[in-house]
Structure 1
Amino acid sequence: MIKTVTVIGANGTMGCNVSGIFASFGDAKVYLVSRTLEKAQKAVAKAAMSVKADAIMGNLIPADYSMLESCIKDSDLVFESVAENLNTKLEVNREISKYAGSDTIICTGSSGLSIKQLAEVFPESIRKNYMGVHFFNPPYNLTLCELIPSSYTDRKLFENVRDYVTKKLYRTAVEVNDSPAFLGNRIGFQFINEVLQYAEKYKDNGGIDYIDTILGQFTGRSMAPLVTSDFVGLDVHKAIVDNIYQNTSDYARGTFVMPQFAVDLVNSGKMGRKTKGGLYKLDVSNSGVKRKFVYDIATNSYREMIKYSFPYAENMVNSFKVGDYHSAFKTLINNQSKEAALCLEFLLKYVVYSLNATNLVGDGIQSADDVMATGFNWCPPLAVIQALFGVESFKSLAKERLSKEILDQIDLDLLLRKVEVSKYDFRRYFKAKH
């Protein structure tokens, strides 16, 4: 029974949000450990707000690092949520190891670093208690929790944590291998980063807002892919794709190279929504008038967003409005425009890469569906296959529309052989919105 939790790095976005989950759904006493008590006190208020529950304030206890020993010794579970930097996390783990008991469960919220490497800081007697527990932001809305054991993790303890996460915290728990970026971010950021590459490729057509309009909400996601990158933060985006590029070697490795213009934005401090400017920028005048700007790759400057109108997209949205999904996807397949072809190509590549990544990292064919539906709020890949009229139709489209370079590096028949019906209804993800 987990009654008391210490969250280290609780003043960060994920730290305070996860604290709220432990305190509300888990009904646990939670120590929110931050660099200063002032930061911890602010984190308490944010944690309660993140789960819309002032009633949990009594469960949330602010603490600083001088109190770490007493917090850990009083806790059943310690959750590390500091910056996604290997050396930083190793340093924090060394501190945890000083005070953790033989039965203390220790988890990292890492979004993709090696769990085995992080575990090796601990004495052998404690390594068995260490695992990755990766929540997605914001956890109140996105229920995915990737669970990552290392080769040291005690299997019975891991299963107990899975039960706790599933039955007590009401998470969608997916076990994944200890592989760079795990599964959700590997699939999601393969898609997002390749879209970013295409924004550069089509910079003379408009670039960022052009490609985001092609792949908007009507293509099965809660927000356009490059809007998602700005929401997450370009610095976080870069850390994820750099890690995957440096440590994996599958057929899509080249799609994880971040374009130089985006690297330059990161280096200049333009990292997205949190810095009030990145790929997009919102300008609010003194009178309260809002104007949306986008970074123009071709001119290396911001300009007002363009309201693109593509007939295939208009027709799809109109079909979705009346529930005619068959006509919508027929429109996408049959439209001869460059934009429709790009849209369909990206959906096909998304499914193929998801199935490939699941074979490498996941625990069964449904893993990709779970991580994308509950971690990104995107239409999951098996459901996209259904939207595109089933496995045989999808296979024909893939052979017709995907490049020879991709088809030569994958076994499409093998990837699709074990495809199952998705437990998610594709209709809830394809929005009648641009």
Structure 2
Amino acid sequence: MTASSTTTPTLRIRKAAVLGAGVMGAQIAAHLTNAGVETVLFDLAAKEGPKSGIALKAIEHLKKLSPAPLADANLATAIIPANYDQHLALLEGCDLIVEAIAERMDWKLDLYKKIAPHVSPTAVLASNTSGLSINGLAEALPEEIRHCFCGVHFFNPPRYMHLVEVIPTRLTDPKVVEGLEAFLVTTVGKGVVIARDTPNFIGNRIGVFSMLATMHHTEQFGLGFDVVDALTGPAVGRPKSATYRTADVVGLDTMAHVIKTMADTLPDDPWHAYFKAPAWLSALIEKGALGQKNGAGFYRKAGKDIVVLDVAKQDYRASEQKASDEVTAILAIKNPAEKFAKLRASQDKQAQFLWATFRDLFHYTAYHLANIADTARDVDFAIRWGYGWKLGPFETWQAAGWQQVAQWVQEDIAAGKAMSSAPLPAWVLDGRDGVHGKDGSWSAANGKYKPRSAHPIYQRQLFPDPILGEKLDQGSTVWENDGVRLWTLGDDGVGIISFKTKMHTVNDQVLDGIQHAIGVAEEKLRAVVIWQNGEPFSAGADLKGALCLLQAGKFDDFEQMVANFQRTSMRIKHALVPVVSAVRGLALGGGCEFQMHSARTVAALESYIGLVEAGVGLLPAGGGLHELAVRAAKANPADPFESLKKVFETVAMAKVSPSAIEAKNMGLLRDSDVIVFNAYELLYVAKRIALSLAESGYRPPLYQRSVPVAGDVGTATFKASLANLQAGYFASEHDIAIATRIADCLCGGNVERGSLVDEEWLLELERKHFVELAKTEKTQARIAHTMTTGKPLRN
């Protein structure tokens, strides 16, 4: 392990091994493979068939899972299947070994004894346990490798959940921890929280307690599981799956096991009496109703309907999932202090339930902070990144008014209303206004505020995920209008264009703003990055404005809007300074076209890119089809049609890439475009690439006056394939009409195969077909339906 020129501890991981091909092990192996790490997946030797059959089956199963663990299903072939009987020698070449077998201390210790002779003295060995003692596990290892051992707890599903907890032992070398943190943050794209070796660490200690408190109060207030899910989901800034749907997804047997682990390992916890599965949870498990994995749990499907368990009737009933009118009104209040005051004062039992769950969560989290985490920030990030909450428990408390809420919690403890009579720590009531402030976040163990980690890897996060009240440098504005802001961060000469619109949609102000901002950049700056602080990159054109023009019959204005869209894309492409698009989240329609015309795109792995106009009855006309035709001609001048086959299907079926890697396979990103795994490093990397282009004497591509096209023969070939879709009722007549026009644009119109056209010809073709489609009744109906329902209309 060495230090690089930026003093970042460098852990070079060429090859990794994952021990255990169960649900977590296989998916960790999948995500390491996504990140370009050669990975060996181990399991027991199979009794029948190929010896590595268990690992082989797990790898095959990865392709069928949803959400997909692999960023490209073809990556499954890169994972190396192995078994402990034949392949232990493969461990000798591994730089990282992650053990992910079942949560049994005795099994883990036996495995460590078996692998220890084959572990390189420089390799990092880590256990993906969700709660067993890391120090206890380390004792099974030879002394010479204990300094390279720690816990590394991925959350499920590993590709999508941002959190990884790293748990050092008493003997873990700090340089090993620093190197592993850098690898997990940049290469694997994770948010790392350094946790203490306490049962269930941070995320599950607090997250599972929150679920237990919710279950306790569900019984106490006599609420239905569906009503509780209506109250504990997006209404309070948590995922749609809320509480009981989450339990169904996790598996009720897994849930019961985690609760038992808490009961067994935390005998002295003041809340220990509640660490037991409620009677109705045990009853479901006894019946074999384990949740989503076998079709029934708190919920099950009955035909097209979802039904929910009614404990009193011992049967399922229709799910209502609705909060009371009073609570709905309270939860709509924007001011958190006012909201919590009204929840506590209300006589509505749903409001009382919500206050009780928050009160006991705050009480538990404050009481245990000193023992489980270094700072309050670690707790909030662990819950946000591991459980998908918008705010962590401490952030929620602080936003609601720290002292007032603390007083209420204190009163409820004194009145015997809280789940435990344990006192609040003295620091809670010392007059403070929260745990996050200008000096950092509160460390109860150290009795002081601590700033963020000084690890050099975080210098790459110019806009890290902010904690409540944190003020980040917003840069200096160079120019702005109502649509965009051109600004700089530091003095490197890179301008940043950010959109001001909702969902970063594209309207006239954005179009005009981009063009003007690029003009300003050409005069004053060295390069430009198009970047949004948060998702999406852009949801595409502003459909509302477009529909208003169409319904008013202002077709000339509508065509001018389309022409302006094309001018903007071409302005991006032919700017005299390099324009780099930094994409994360959705980049649809016009958003996709802007990144296609950039000198380079830097995309976060979780980028969902697509030319989706066909879904609203239109075709891409911001230069997208023109650009695909130009690329096809460049890739295969003798026969552009060959290169158009894949992209035609992508556009005609309005496909959206399920990852940035797939966007390359679909032809929406170029091979030269860069994929970044940590979205918080996106701006840093994009700025570096923009500067490197500027440094290398960047010139925009020349305007193409001789583009070979597939012509009428190409269009006819695409039309023939569409006939089969229509015959099989897979596409409506209007779908076929749209797809035919897309084919005509990609193939260069009604000209002979191999004809040479210029870029303006291709742009005019796009505009013509776009406007003609927009005039049709069916397309206008599709646009209106999508705007009203958010869903496509097939007409």
**TM class, shorter-length:** 0.7 to 0.9
Which residue, out of 33, 39, 42, partners 1:23? Answer: 33
Which residue of 1 is the match for residue 219 of structure 2? 200
Contact 2:18 2:97 in 1 (8 A): yes
For 1:384, give the aligned amino acid.
Answer: T
Structure 2 counterparts to residues 29-428 of structure 1, below 5 A: 29-35=38-44, 36=46, 37-45=52-60, 47=62, 49-54=68-73, 56-57=75-76, 59-202=78-221, 205-222=222-239, 223-248=241-266, 249-283=268-302, 285=303, 290-316=304-330, 318-319=332-333, 331-378=342-389, 379-388=391-400, 390-402=401-413, 404-405=415-416, 406=418, 408-415=421-428, 417=432, 419-421=435-437, 423-424=466-467
Shift of 1:47: 4.8
Aligned residue pairs total 414
Structure 2 vs 1, CA of residues 165 and 307 (structure 1 numbering), >3 Å: closer, same or farther? closer
Contact 2:363 2:424 in 1 (8 A): no
Contact 2:398 2:435 in 1 (8 A): no
Q: Secondary structure at the match of 2:161?
A: coil
* Percent of residue pairs identical: 26
Structure 2 vs 1, CA of residues 267 and 255 (structure 1 numbering), >3 Å: closer, same or farther? same
Shift of 1:89: 2.1
Distance 1:156 1:227 in 2: 41
Distance 1:307 1:149 in 2: 43
* CA deviation profile, 1:204-243 (whole Å, cap 9, x unmatched): x454334333333212211321222221112221222212
Distance 2:404 2:156 in 1: 35
Structure 2 vs 1, CA of residues 86 and 265 (structure 1 numbering), >3 Å: closer, same or farther? farther
TM-score by length of 2: 0.49
Query: Higher mean Cα deviation, 310-319 or 351-360?
Result: 310-319
Structure 2 vs 1, CA of residues 127 and 326 (structure 1 numbering), >3 Å: closer, same or farther? closer
Distance 1:394 1:268 in 2: 42
Q: Secondary structure at the match of 1:366?
A: helix
Contact 2:299 2:306 in 1 (8 A): yes
Shift of 1:110: 0.5
Distance 2:338 2:407 in 1: 19
For 1:282, give the aligned amino acid.
Answer: K
Contact 1:395 1:412 in 2 (8 A): no
Query: Higher mean Cα deviation, 210-219 or 361-370?
Result: 210-219
Distance 2:352 2:230 in 1: 13
Contact 2:323 2:350 in 1 (8 A): no
Shift of 1:410: 2.0
* Residue ranges of structure 1 left out of the alignment (5+ in a row): 429-434
Contact 1:218 1:316 in 2 (8 A): no
Query: Higher mean Cα deviation, 50-59 or 84-93?
Result: 50-59
Distance 2:310 2:332 in 1: 30
Distance 2:301 2:37 in 1: 39
TM-score by length of 1: 0.86
Distance 1:425 1:313 in 2: 25
Shift of 1:246: 2.1
Distance 1:324 1:384 in 2: 12
Q: Secondary structure at the match of 2:313?
A: coil
Distance 1:282 1:98 in 2: 50
Shift of 1:185: 0.4
Q: Secondary structure at the match of 1:91?
A: helix
Structure 2 vs 1, CA of residues 325 and 209 (structure 1 numbering), >3 Å: closer, same or farther? same
Contact 2:94 2:120 in 1 (8 A): no
Shift of 1:315: 1.4
Q: Secondary structure at the match of 1:298?
A: coil
Query: Higher mean Cα deviation, 400-409 or 375-384?
Result: 400-409
Contact 2:260 2:275 in 1 (8 A): yes
For 2:305, give the aligned amino acid.
Answer: R
Contact 1:199 1:210 in 2 (8 A): no
Shift of 1:187: 0.4
Structure 2 vs 1, CA of residues 270 and 91 (structure 1 numbering), >3 Å: closer, same or farther? farther
Query: Higher mean Cα deviation, 48-57 or 351-360?
Result: 48-57
For 1:8, give the aligned amino acid.
Answer: L
Structure 2 vs 1, CA of residues 297 and 395 (structure 1 numbering), >3 Å: closer, same or farther? same
Distance 1:124 1:100 in 2: 12
* CA deviation profile, 1:302-356 (whole Å, cap 9, x unmatched): 333234441233214555xxx6767655653443312102102212222232233
For 2:263, give the aligned amino acid.
Answer: Y
* CA deviation profile, 1:104-156 (whole Å, cap 9, x unmatched): 22111100011122222222222222211001111222111111112232232
Distance 2:414 2:184 in 1: 41
* CA deviation profile, 1:156-199 (whole Å, cap 9, x unmatched): 22222122222322211111111111111010111111222233
Contact 2:201 2:372 in 1 (8 A): yes
Distance 1:353 1:206 in 2: 23
Which residue of 2 is the match for residue 431 of structure 1? none
* CA deviation profile, 1:23-68 (whole Å, cap 9, x unmatched): 223x210012234434423433555741423464454222233343
For 2:312, give the aligned amino acid.
Answer: A
Distance 1:403 1:123 in 2: 51
Contact 1:114 1:179 in 2 (8 A): yes
Distance 1:394 1:327 in 2: 11
Q: Secondary structure at the match of 1:182?
A: coil
For 1:34, give the aligned amino acid.
Answer: D
Query: Higher mean Cα deviation, 226-235 or 299-308?
Result: 299-308
Contact 1:174 1:370 in 2 (8 A): yes
Shift of 1:425: 5.6
Contact 1:9 1:15 in 2 (8 A): yes
For 1:356, give the aligned amino acid.
Answer: Y
* CA deviation profile, 1:76-102 (whole Å, cap 9, x unmatched): 111111122223322322222242232
RMSD across aligned positions (CA): 2.7
Structure 2 vs 1, CA of residues 100 and 387 (structure 1 numbering), >3 Å: closer, same or farther? same
